[in-house]
Chains A and B, each alone.
Chain A
Amino acid sequence: AQKITQTQPGMFVQEKEAVTLDCTYDTSDPSYGLFWYKQPSSGEMIFLIYQGSYDQQNATEGRYSLNFQKARKSANLVISASQLGDSAMYFCAMREALNTGFQKLVFGTGTRLLVSP
């Protein structure tokens, strides 16, 4: 079974600084996808960035980039120039293919990021 590990329960960063949120994964499938979601206090899961296992380059989306190290099975999220609005829970997730042809997401336990002025 696939597994996602986020070892940082909480992270603090000052506004305008960069922060890295760690994520390691375990899978025996050669084809997989990795996601990062942001969950503010409202509850909605907001998609941030996606990395496919065969993607040659690290994914980037604005201030978000994914440091994908396949051999180490890590997919860390880097947020550059942190903003106060970045304070939220961040979840790393892996797409698990099901034998029905569909998929589900397996989530890590999350990291709570707090950005201070």
Chain B
Amino acid sequence: KAGVTQTPRYLIKTRGQQVTLSCSPISGHRSVSWYQQTPGQGLQFLFEYFSETQRNKGNFPGRFSGRQFSNSRSEMNVSTLELGDSALYLCASSPGLLNTGELFFGEGSRLTVL
């Protein structure tokens, strides 16, 4: 069974640009959540999608957005990039609502903003 796949693994952008990251969940998983990991702030919840709808969002500005497609694949977008957006962005999938099990994480997309 294939795990969570994130693309691209590494990318470099400059301030003001935008970026789109992709996440393919484990087959059959309908929930995809995103986390940002930085040395200063640690791991922080960005948002979660289930059945193509954003179910909850963390404390991030509106520059951070996402969507989920009918096949459960998800994308997140960051517009008007700032230096502080440099981070490892982790995607996690789970079967869905009221899941009591663990989240399955991908290897992450490491974004560097210059």
Residues of chain A having any CB pair with chain B under 8 Å: 33, 35, 37, 42-47, 50, 52, 91, 93, 95, 98, 100-110
Contacts and interface: CB of A to CB of B under 8 A. Distances in A.
Contacts of B70: none
A45 B105 contact: yes
A61 B108 CA distance: 25
Contacts of A104: 33, 45, 48, 56, 58
Contact of B97 (A33, A43, A102): A102
Nearest to A50: B102
Interface of B: 31, 33, 35, 42-43, 45, 48, 50, 55-56, 58, 88, 90, 92, 97-108, 110
Given A101-B98, A102-B50, A104-B33, A43 B88 contact: yes
Contact of B55 (A37, A100, A107): A100
A30 to B, nearest CB: 15
Given A35-B102, A101-B97, A101-B98, A109 B42 contact: yes
A42 B107 contact: yes
Contact of A102 (B56, B58, B101, B106): B56
Nearest to A104: B45
Contacts of B42: 107-110
Given A35-B102, A43-B90, A52-B100, A98 B107 contact: no
